[in-house]
Structure 1
Amino acid sequence: MPLRLPPLTALRAFDSAARHMSFAKAAAELNVTPAALSFQIKSLEEHLGAPLFHRLNRAVELTEAGRVLAPGAAEGFQTLAAAWQSARRLQDNTTLNVTAGPAFTAKWLAPRLYEFARSFPEIDLRFSATLRLMDFARDEVDVAVRFGYGPDEGLYALPLRREWITPVMSPEMATRYPTPDSLRDAPLLFDHSVDFLDPPCDWTTWFRAAGLEFTPTHGSHFSQADHAVDAAGAGAGVALGRRAMVVKDLHEGKLVAPYTLALETKAHFRFICTLGTENRPQIKAFRDWILSEITKTDYVTDSLTIIPVEDIPPL
């Protein structure tokens, strides 16, 4: 025989009172009178057959039964609220909440958003630039663009273009350092946002791939990829630029990649959303737009010899 649950309004009154430890504050939160809230809790106690609160002079305390019920009631209402919000979002085909890393947002997404807005004026695009792990339901996120290896279990994850790194610099600096060997004397920039890559895609590995045994120890260090790339564009030094971070600047001539050697990593950007939502109109439109924008700069790889970093022998 199925368990007969008490009325939802009574449970809601209990949850609010247990959180506030005050009938008056709970009544204000639920926009009811204290008498009405007290009646709901009393009916819940009658349904249970035991008191849930000790009524004191100017306060209330949970009984043992109340302490057992309170965590489950709170979790239940949180779960119900999240499910209801997710169901409501499914009816909205004009709002798209996207999260991406700060560097990808700054160097890839933001400069192109005008094109998306012009092509899809009916979609209200909202961005959160963060690397924090997101819960699609709790954080009301529709799409995440993330860089790494995965896996993205239980999610729709579309790999974007393969990711490579190669030295990039201003056109003026390229005249001063025409060969890989000349980079020994160049001001090198270090991007520590890729320190997690295994095998590493760092300066030592790139020099080794170029047939040079050189481990640089001096230079400017950056925690964000876009900061390193911007410094290179300003003429401050030479950075190892990742494809997604430099293709637009290479396309526009703000940066040059004067050498033909690039290292490919198995880490890549992925377009991620909840499984089953990938064909919602605004999500599909955003996905197709990203893929279309990527193809516009595919030619940048034409002059590069791309070597998987796994093929570079270790020291």
Structure 2
Amino acid sequence: MVRFRHIPPTQFLKGFEAAARLESFSRAAEELGLSQSAISHQMRLLEGHIGQPLFLRIGREVRLTDAGRDYQRTVRQCLELMEAGYRRLEPYRKPGSVVIYAPRDFARRWLLHRLPSLTQAVPACEPWLDTSGTPVDFETMEVDLAIIYAEEPPEGHESLLIARDRLSPLAAPALVKALREPADLLGLALIHCEHDLGWADWFARAGIETDKLWRGSNFSDGDLGLAAAELSQGIALGSLPLAEAALTSGALVQPYAQIIEARRAWYAVSTPDRLADADVRGAWDWLAGQAEALSLEG
């Protein structure tokens, strides 16, 4: 059986979408740069292809039939998807394009402010960040490098440890003024982020027993949790690697030295064929340099 045999020519679909939206063959023709008779002819061919009327013709205006309204939704979605797919191809036309997948919080807090360093180290590299959250599959996706947050890197890939995650209370300077001992945190709103360790683990590390840790907001995104802390909405048990820039600028302060080590870490992963590209290899080597600098600082 021939696949997609019920799909009419694309120019018919574009004409249908315009005519359905504008409720006029003449206005659709003007928008598409065609004659009114050409659009009218296309719509008759389209209806013949589908096997039922899509329009009610009322004088010079047209109205969609029930079937036409249903088909309009499908056609609009398909055309928008095709247009979006075309726009996504634009980076591939640029020489040196390197597609880097990363979790949104890592891209926002760790990678974004380092991009000038990457482009300085690898001038031909044109980074394209993908933070869609789609599970990475190098066989089916156009991804050159992927940053993952995991206990171990996946087998069968080239991997590089970027940073192990370490968690500690982080707060805006205005809130830190009231803090003297770790127990002082119990009187404040605590910001909860989705880590494999939580506030109970940190208080245990600080030698404090408590079961009253539920006040405050919860965030599934580490970046938003840190942003809430920067806005003095509470004290975050935040990731020190992600909070590096905020700590350097003074937007956040680490009031206590107690740190807990998360089980997961950030790894860069790729494949030998991707790394055979000079620009991808350059970005990989740059990441290795950044990781080495972090290990020396830690």
Q: TM-score w.r.t. structure 1 length?
A: 0.59
Q: Distance in 2 between matches of 1:291 and 1:190?
A: 38
Counterparts of 1:25 and 1:299 in 2: how far apart (Å)? 66
Amino acid at match of 1:70: Q
Aligned equivalent of 1:296: 293
The answer to whether the 8 A contact 2:190-2:235 is kept is no
- Does the C-alpha gap of structure 1 residues 269 and 193 become closer, same or farther in structure 2, counting only changes over 3 Å? farther
- Whether 2:244 is the aligned partner of 1:242: answer no
Distance (whole Å) between structure 2 residues aligned to residue 46 and residue 168 of structure 1 = 66
1:183: which partner in 2? 182
Normalising to structure 2: TM-score of the pair? 0.62
Q: Provide the residue aligned with 1:212 in structure 2.
A: 208
How many angstroms apart in 1 are the aligned matches of 2:227 and 2:89?
39
Written as runs of structure 1 = structure 2, the 5 A alignment for 1:162-311 is 162-167=164-169, 182-185=181-184, 192=191, 194=193, 196-198=194-196, 200-202=197-199, 204-214=200-210, 224-227=224-227, 240-247=237-244, 259=257, 261-266=259-264, 268-269=265-266, 285-301=282-298
1:35-86: CA deviation from partner (whole Å, max 9, x where unpaired):
3222222333344554331111243122355345434433443444344445
| Structure 1 residue 165 displacement after superposition | 0.8
Structure 1 pair 191–90 and aligned structure 2 pair: CA distance change class (3 A): farther
Q: Which amino acid aligns with 1:9?
A: Q
For 1:163, the aligned partner's letter is D
Q: Are residues 141 and 101 of structure 1, via their aligned partners in 2, closer, same or farther at CA, if it must alter by over 3 Å?
A: same
**CA separation of 1:8/1:64 partners in 2, compared to 1, >3 Å: closer, same or farther?**
same
Aligned amino acid, residue 182 of structure 2: L
Note closer, same or farther for the CA distance 1:184–1:44 as it changes in structure 2 (3 Å cut). closer
CA distance in 2, matches of 1:19, 1:277: 44
Map Cα deviations across residues 211-239 of structure 1 (whole Å, 9 max, x no partner): 3325677999897444477689xxxx986
1:281 is displaced (CA, Å) by 6.2
Which structure 2 residues correspond to residues 1-315 of structure 1 after superposition, within 5 A?
2=2, 3=5, 6-48=8-50, 50-67=52-69, 69-87=71-89, 89-95=91-97, 104=106, 107-125=109-127, 160-167=162-169, 182-185=181-184, 192=191, 194=193, 196-198=194-196, 200-202=197-199, 204-214=200-210, 224-227=224-227, 240-247=237-244, 259=257, 261-266=259-264, 268-269=265-266, 285-301=282-298
Q: Distance in 2 between matches of 1:159 and 1:135?
A: 19
Structure 2: state its 5+ residue gaps: 137-141
How far the C-alpha of 1:242 sits from its partner, in A, is: 1.3
CA distance in 2, matches of 1:31, 1:298: 61
Query: CA RMSD, aligned part only?
Result: 5.2
Percent of aligned pairs with the same amino acid: 23
Pick which of 14-23 and 156-165 moved more: 156-165
* Partners of 2:170 and 2:236 within 8 A in 1: yes
Structure 2: distance between partners of 1:279 and 1:29? 47
Work out whether residues 166 and 239 of structure 2, in 8 Å CA contact, stay in contact via their aligned partners in 1.
yes
Sort the Cα spacing of 1:120 and 1:299 in 2 relative to 1 into closer, same or farther, 3 A: closer
Structure 1: how far apart are the matches of 2:31 and 2:160?
A: 43
Does structure 1 conserve the Cα–Cα contact (< 8 Å) formed by 2:192 and 2:225? yes
Shift of 1:294: 2.4
SS of corresponding position for 1:245: coil
| Counterpart amino acid of residue 42 in structure 1 | R
- SS of aligned partner of 2:241: helix
Q: Is the 8 A contact 2:160 2:268 kept in 1?
A: yes
Q: Do 2:192 and 2:236's aligned partners in 1 also have CA atoms closer than 8 Å?
A: no
Contact 2:191–2:237 under 8 Å retained in 1: no
**Gap runs ≥5 in structure 1:** 302-315
Distance 2:67 2:143 in 1: 37
Count of residue correspondences:
275
